[in-house]
Structure 1
Amino acid sequence: MPQTSLHIHLFPWGIFSMLSIQKPPCRKSKSHTHFFSLAIPLLLLAFCLPPQTATAGLTIRQGYFWDTDRQETFIPHGFAYQVWNPPVFATQTLAEVDYDLEGMQQAHANSLRVELVWESVEPQEGVFLWDQADHLVKKAEQLGLKLFILIGYQYPPSWFATHYPQAMARTANGPSPLLNYSHPQAKESFARFIGAVCDRYKASPAIGGWILGNEFAFYDLWENAAIKNQVGYDEQVSLPSYRAFLAQTYGGNIGRLNAAWGTTFQSFAEVPMARAYPENRADHEAIRNSGYHDLIQWRKRTIGDFVAAGAKAAKTAAPDQLISYSMVGGIFNGLDPNYTAEDPGTISERCRAAGAPLDFMSLNLYSWALAGHELRSLDFGIAKFRDLLDIPVLITETGHSSTETLFPGAAARQTEAIVSSTWEAMLSGAMGVHLFHWSDRNNFLATPYPREAGFGVVDQERQPKPKVYEAVRSMFRQMEELPLTRFLAGSQTLAPDILIYWPKDIDLGWNRANEEIASLWGGLRRLGFLPKLISSPLADLGKAELETGAKSLLLPRNFQMQPDDLGALTTVLDRGMHIHANLDLPGQFDANHRENPGWDAAMGKVFGIDVSQARPAWDSGIRPGADWSAGYAPLLLNPAPGSILGQTQPTTIRAWKYWIGVRPASGGTPQAWSENESGLRLSAAMVTKEHPAARTALNTFGLGDFIAPAILLNSPQGAPTFAWDTRTTWLTAIYNNFFGMQPRIELTGPGSVYVLADLRRTPDGWLLALMNEHTEPALVSVRAEWLLEEGAVVKDLLSGDAGQGLNRLILTGDGYRLFHITQARQGQNEDPPRTEEGSHQKSQDL
């Protein structure tokens, strides 16, 4: 089966676009007669210039690439370019490759993400065809372009399946097109190919870094089934590997496993591998007996070890070049059974343990140009890796399509959304950005996936697409002219206001937690707060975290927690940190789904609730419905008199999960009630409690992922801002009104609630960015006395204007503004906020 670099975008409930595997129809040869006719004079001048001399290799310093030849920071900005990948209509001739690379250089790209597909390079075992790859690398050298090359694949060449059928993966129902991640032959062939490619180009100055895998999963990403068929069900290799992992996890003591699982196995040799995800969330004993949490951990470790085999081969062949792994940065799938087990922390840890640590993580991260959705911003997708890893991140795919079919109205937003998303990614901490894709691919218009056709900035004939080509070209040129490296190198993020707890204990509900956190993150960021993800046990939350200035802890979907975490909640409160629990009642079970002792009492003590009658009334994160909205049930939220919600009117939402039977007790104050459509009170929807040093708030529905009621969603005008507005109201009530927290920067004015602000400390001042997530314009004023003290100089970096201040700024729909602020006498009025220790990576020469 030919392998590809998958280009996937997903809706909740598994509605997504996935590339079809089929031979493309014959393609008309491209006409080069009118190449970029809209910019001929400029391009003719550019073609007369000598090409840049290719530079030497890259290292990493302070979280950014460092060009060892030029002795300067290098920030990649360019395109993801599929060259020879027939299933996705990438079949360029060498002349077309030359033409495209020259065109991308004229668009001020300085780097590309490209692929060397395994079967195209090694069509027969041990027989390598290097002509295409050699040509690509040589051309990049001539043009001074850096290449970040994907060379690791879970889909092997056709000859591998023929020669080594025993090394192919198996589902519970039969064979899979994937390699068996556990099989020694699969690892050996995977590593051998990577080593061969890296060895051939180890001296090339064009190589920016090697990407050793792309979106690995424990199921076939091309599979059309709503619930994917997981692999690893061969008894020859995977089952013994799983049992060995369990023995290691439980110290060789089967009694410890039985205590965790509630089972009576006599030895590890008896332990079966669960055949399917435990879908009945009400059957707690069955979930526990399945051992599914441990199965997930084995899958994560297995993928990590597979990548590590490639990392070791790459570092052995080319020790001076950088290595990476590429994974989905945002939402992949909204159904919990479809967890991929592609865990960045485990992958990074296993590569380090193998003596071949990854140098950076590569992200395929796409924002959604969808009205009212928090994933209009890329910040959360970057934060998942920025916060939880100790290596920087590079965006190797992002973009928007002019033939978008998933998101209403998104096609017309391609130009503005690409520009604002790219700038935002840089300010959120990405070390570079590659736009997918250079050119349109019209063959997709005749497939079930027409949206894939329009991601290009030029059309299939290489003519500039209206607006978008010139906008991207101007943006890349502006990054060079500023230069952007001057501002970002050595810059730091601010210390967080809010810590969000996301441990591996909730891996059973990872996919739904991911969606819930993504929306909560976006809502908090629009309010001006700075959240940060943490994964270490709460019992380890100590002085260092508190000194960052974080004032609140958010538990986003923590129905599973370590037993010690329950006790740690009171310690957190005693230290003056507020706690907000969203959706699930925290800590009812441990990771293996054992009931945590003292849970009922802890809920009363910490949150002021009686849980004796509590149970989920609706929980739909397992299987898809008839359409994407079928998983959401209506729920009326009715504020109590005198509530912290103020004058908020009763509001009906549609929630993917909510609880009934939660009652205020032990000092808890009901702030809102949930009711059914007949007005019958079901449960407290939000309960707050005051403690001597801090406060708690708990809501019993998902404040992250919910949608508008059908009557609004299906109305002619729709409900474009319903989710944004509702989330803003509730989060403001909790964090501003009840917790008394105020953001460091406050935005005011019409439309400002839909504007996201980014702030970074630079060596000579501050970078302030504003991105309008809405299609309607906003008139924004920035309030931050500590930042805008007397004598401060504000320069608009994108227009070049200086001295205009930050009042009554106009942001067009999807607009982006970037300012550099220098202060004459820093700290005269108020101490500036803390920057986060270690927010840029430690300087390193690799």
Structure 2
Amino acid sequence: MTKRWEPVHPAMTGMLHGGDYNPDQWLGYPHILDEDDELMKLAHTNTMSVNIFGWSALEPEEGVYRFEWLDEVMDRAAARGGHIILATPSGARPAWMSEQYPEVLRVSSNRVRNLHGLRHNHCFTSPVYRKKTQQINRLLAERYGKHPALIMWHISNEYGGDCHCDLCQDAFRKWLQVRYDNSLDKLNHAWWTGFWSHRFSSWSQIESPAPHGENQVHGLNLDWRRFVTDQTIDFYQSEIVPLRELTPDIPVTTNFMGNYPDMRPFTGLNYEAFAKHVDIISWDAYPAWHNNWESTASLAKDVAFVNDLYRRLKDGRPFLIMECTPSLVNWHEVNKAKRPGMHKLSSVQSIAHGSDSILYFQWRKGRGASEKFHGAVVDHAGHPDTRVFREVAEVGRLLEQLAPVTGTSVDAKVAILYDWETDWALADAQGFGQDSKQYVRTCQEHYRVFWERNIPVDVITPDKPLEGYQLVIAPMLYMLREGFGTRVEDYVRQGGRFVTTYASGMVDENDLAFLGGFPGPLREVLGIWSEEIDTLYPEETRELVDADGNVYAARDYCELIHLEGAEAIASFSSDFYQGQAAATAYSYGSGRSYYLAARHEARFHDAFYGKLIEELSITTAIPVEADAGVSIQVRSDEETQYVFAMNFTEREQPVQFANDAVLTDMATGEQQHTSFVLPPYGSVVLRTER
């Protein structure tokens, strides 16, 4: 759906540009604040995230507060017309708190309590930590809630990890009692505890997964992950109580993560659940650009997938890039600097897929500790005469010109389904190939076909409606939530097209295998049943032939299926399943469903989806011709299309729009020829009327 979203804060009238600012690390260097003030203007920044990990500077001793430094930072931002995203400091607590209240420290899965140190080393169940967090957050809200620079609350930082202390064990048992209606019989059935004689006769016998205890009951492992997500959200909700009370008009967010360096969505927390409790999605993007195991264009496809996932968590509302690096990071195996032009290109890509910000970690490099060599806008040299600073300033100038893009949307008719809980369950499943399951990589391979054709895609979670899409693709949907099969039936019956693959519909939401044949509740709508899966060695492939006689290869997984109304559109031509269906199609109601019974090579996906794209008349948002490695994305409102042309290759690339298109370069305001050449890592943002 094409629309323009209202900003979450009235002051957000354009793109946000800036990032993590840590003046609390420089309190002994008073001249630094003056330097930063001038450099922020030169870099064309307008927004800083402040007070992340600032607790020890705010409260150096229990009950002793030092807000003067933060007052100055807030006032300086207001004086230059800038914005502040003010963080709550719970991501790392002061040493005095760990010493005085050891219950706030986490206990690892081995049941050993951690020492003070690192970050997110707190128990999210601890009443003491919740009380202390609310106290400091209330003081922040009272002091800065009406400050003209404040536009948003940044709650903690990159929530993650778990605690196994007695408090958390008790909370877990209570959570389980609610989930299973206080019935141990229901829990024992859901966890299949008759296996290895694990049946529980008392709630007190249940412990969280442990390396020296139980870790092979998949229902337990799955519920622990769910509990950790719910308990983290509960801690977050406790944090924001004083903020909602005192500053109800200030939006709240917390920065979600990707799992790096391969851009696999982070599996520690279920962000589908968390998204319901934030006002705007924000996430930290650190892809390993210029790595030595895939091309820049291939990685760009994976980054686009994650952006499209985060955009849909709030039903298409633009999100924020809360952190990215302007140069390099300090924690990849090889910390490679972004090549000239790559920072602008990656920034443009984020905006193209729905971000309304480019914010960095970090503004200024610290002098010591683990992140002193992590990329920053201001290097240790402390002046603007660096390549990175100049590229950041260039991005800042461009974002000023892109202000009209803020709030616009992406209109997609294709959806690909990603499910955090399926990811968890598949990773835990002891079967298949341990290293070849690659759930997210599989989703991204199906996404690739549309990305290369410049067709917009929504990456949706199972709670989202299927209606409104011409095509819904659910690769490796191993776990089916209750009712999802019925929703797919309704969608296809009413004219939708649904595609799924091998290893789908195998277990329910308790990770119990469906009885009566796979793919479980999808069996009727697909018109097939699956008997078994053959897992191949990495060097093996199996041949298959489609209805037109084209020959393709399958790798990793070949599934033996039986037709129950579906027709084979490709068949295996080797091994003991020679002649059996490798892909099927089935007419169901007014729609059609498809089942891919093997991990087919990319050429098969190109041909298969190419036919569907043609049959359904799925088109790009704007007519354009460009070679592989060039991505064309569009954001729009009811009147205007904003076209992003991006070259993710190391060579010049021609781009050809329709000759009657009227295109304006948003950076220069000049009319753009419909035919032009993008330099390596080049990008341009164009405006055209709908």
Q: TM-score range by the shorter chain?
A: 0.7 to 0.9
Cα deviation, 1:377-406, whole Å, max 9, x if unaligned, reads 543333333212366522221124258895
Report whether the alignment pairs 1:640 with 2:545: yes
Q: Does 2:92 match 1:155?
A: yes
Q: Is the 8 A contact 1:140 1:146 kept in 2?
A: yes
| Change over 3 Å in CA distance of 1:636–1:119 after alignment to 2 | same
Contact preservation (8 Å) 1:110, 1:144:
yes
Contact 2:560/2:577 (8 A) holds in 1 = no
Q: For the Cα contact (< 8 Å) 2:545–2:573, is it kept in 1? A: no
* Structure 2 match to 1:534: 460
1:527-676 to 2 correspondences below 5 Å? 527-536=453-462, 545-546=466-467, 548=468, 550-562=469-481, 564-566=483-485, 568-582=487-501, 584-600=502-518, 611-616=530-535, 633-636=538-541, 638-640=543-545, 646=550, 658-660=556-558, 662-663=560-561, 665-666=563-564, 667-669=566-568, 671=570
Distance 1:775 1:686 in 2: 37
Specify the code of the residue in structure 1 equivalent to 2:682.
G
CA separation of 1:613/1:434 partners in 2, compared to 1, >3 Å: closer, same or farther?
Answer: closer
Deviations 1:1-33 (A, max 9, x none): xxxxxxxxxxxxxxxxxxxxxxxxxxxxxxxxx
| Secondary structure in structure 1 of the residue aligned to 2:480 | coil
| Equivalent residue, structure 1, for 2:136 | 193
User: Which residue identity does 1:201 align to in structure 2?
Assistant: Y
C-alpha displacement of 1:586 = 0.9
**Per-residue deviation, 1:665:** 4.3
* Equivalent residue in structure 2 for 1:694, among 586, 592, 606: 592
| Contact kept in structure 1, 2:272 and 2:461, CA below 8 Å | no
Q: In structure 2, which of residues 55, 61, 69 is the aligned counterpart of residue 124 of structure 1?
A: 61
After the TM superposition, which residues 689-838 of structure 1 pair with which residues of structure 2 at under 5 Å, given as runs? 689-691=585-587, 693-701=591-599, 727=602, 729-737=603-611, 740-745=615-620, 752-782=627-657, 792-802=661-671, 804-805=673-674, 808-822=675-689
Displacement of 1:211 after TM fit?
0.8
The Cα shift of 1:467 comes to 4.1
Which of 221, 224, 230 does residue 295 from structure 1 map onto?
224
> What is the SS of the residue equivalent to 2:651?
coil
What stretches of structure 1 of length at least 5 have no aligned partner?
Answer: 1-60, 219-230, 281-285, 352-357, 619-632, 704-725, 824-846
| Gapped regions of structure 2 (runs ≥ 5) | 194-198, 429-437
In the superposition, the TM-score normalised over structure 2's length comes to: 0.84
1:233 maps to 2:233: no
Change (3 A) 1:698 1:418: same
How far residue 369 of structure 1 moved from its aligned partner, in angstroms, is: 1.7
Partner of 1:314: 243
Aligned-partner SS, 1:292: helix
Q: In the TM superposition, what is the alpha-carbon distance from 1:127 to its structure 2 partner?
A: 1.2
Judge conservation of contact 1:65–1:74 (CA < 8 Å) in 2: no
Equivalents in 2 of 1:334, 1:420: separation in Å?
17
Question: How large is the RMSD of aligned CA atoms in angstroms?
Answer: 3.7
- 2:363: which partner in 1? 438
Contact 1:94 1:135 in 2 (8 A): no
Aligned to 2:37: 101
Offset at residue 307 of structure 1 (A): 0.8
Cα distance in 1 between the residues matched to 2:617 and 2:212: 42
Question: What's the offset of the Cα at 1:770?
Answer: 1.3
CA contact (8 A) 2:309 2:460 kept: no
Superposition deviation, residue 558 in structure 1: 1.3
1:62 has 2:2 as partner: no
Q: Which amino acid aligns with 1:496?
A: K
CA distance in 1, matches of 2:326, 2:560: 43
2:104 aligned with 1:167: yes
Separation in 1, partners of 2:639, 2:334:
43
Q: Residue 293 of structure 1: CA displacement?
A: 1.7
1:670–1:684: 8 Å Cα contact kept in structure 2?
A: no
SS in 2 for 1:760: strand
Q: Which residue of 2 aligns with 1:82?
A: 22
Mapped to 2, the partners of 1:822 and 1:607 lie a distance apart of: 42
Q: 1:191 to 1:699 in 2, by over 3 A?
A: farther
Question: For the Cα contact (< 8 Å) 1:366–1:398, is it kept in 2?
Answer: yes
From the superposition, tell whether residues 753 and 796 of structure 1 become closer, same or farther in structure 2 (CA, over 3 Å).
same
Q: Which residue of 2 aligns with 1:459?
A: 379
Q: 1:186 offset after TM fit, Å?
A: 1.3
Pair 192,147 (structure 1): closer, same or farther in 2 beyond 3 Å: same
Match of 2:403 in 1: 485
What TM-score comes out, normalization by structure 1 length?
0.69
Deviations 1:311-335 (A, max 9, x none): 1122334444332212214647899
Query: What is the rounded CA distance, in whole Å, between the counterparts of 2:623 and 2:635 in structure 1?
Result: 17
Change (3 A) 1:694 1:757: same
1:265 aligns with 2:200: yes
1:400–1:615: structure 2 CA closer, same or farther, 3 Å change rule?
farther
Alpha carbons 1:325, 1:362 under 8 Å: kept: yes
- Asked whether the equivalents of residues 79 and 112 of structure 1 are also in contact (C-alpha less than 8 Å), the reply is yes
User: What SS class does the counterpart of residue 541 from structure 2 fall into?
Assistant: strand
What is the aligned counterpart of 1:248 among 161, 173, 178? Answer: 178
Q: Is the 8 A contact 2:87 2:155 kept in 1?
A: yes
- Report SS of the residue matched to 1:599: coil
Selected match of 1:471 from 391, 395, 401: 391
Q: Deviations over 1:807-836 (max 9, x none)?
A: x3312222112111125xxxxxxxxxxxxx
Residue of structure 2 equivalent to 1:23: none
CA contact (8 A) 2:410 2:456 kept: no
Cα displacement (A) at 1:83: 3.3
Calculate percent identity across the aligned residue pairs: 17
- Asked if 2 retains the 8 angstrom alpha-carbon contact of 1:609 and 1:668, the reply is no
- Cα distance in 1, alignment partners of residues 331 and 100 from structure 2: 41
- Measured in 1, the distance between the counterparts of 2:27 and 2:130 equals 28
Aligned to 2:268: 340
Evaluate the alpha carbon distance shift between residue 81 and residue 554 of structure 1 in structure 2; reply closer, same or farther with a 3 A threshold: same
Q: 1:453 offset after TM fit, Å?
A: 2.6
Q: Secondary structure at the match of 1:581?
A: strand
Give CA-to-partner distance per residue, 1:591-627, whole Å, 9 cap, x none. Answer: 2121113333757765566632325457xxxxxxxxx
**How big is the shift at 1:565?**
3.3
Name the SS of the counterpart of 2:396 in structure 1: helix
> Which residue of the partner structure matches residue 432 of structure 2?
none
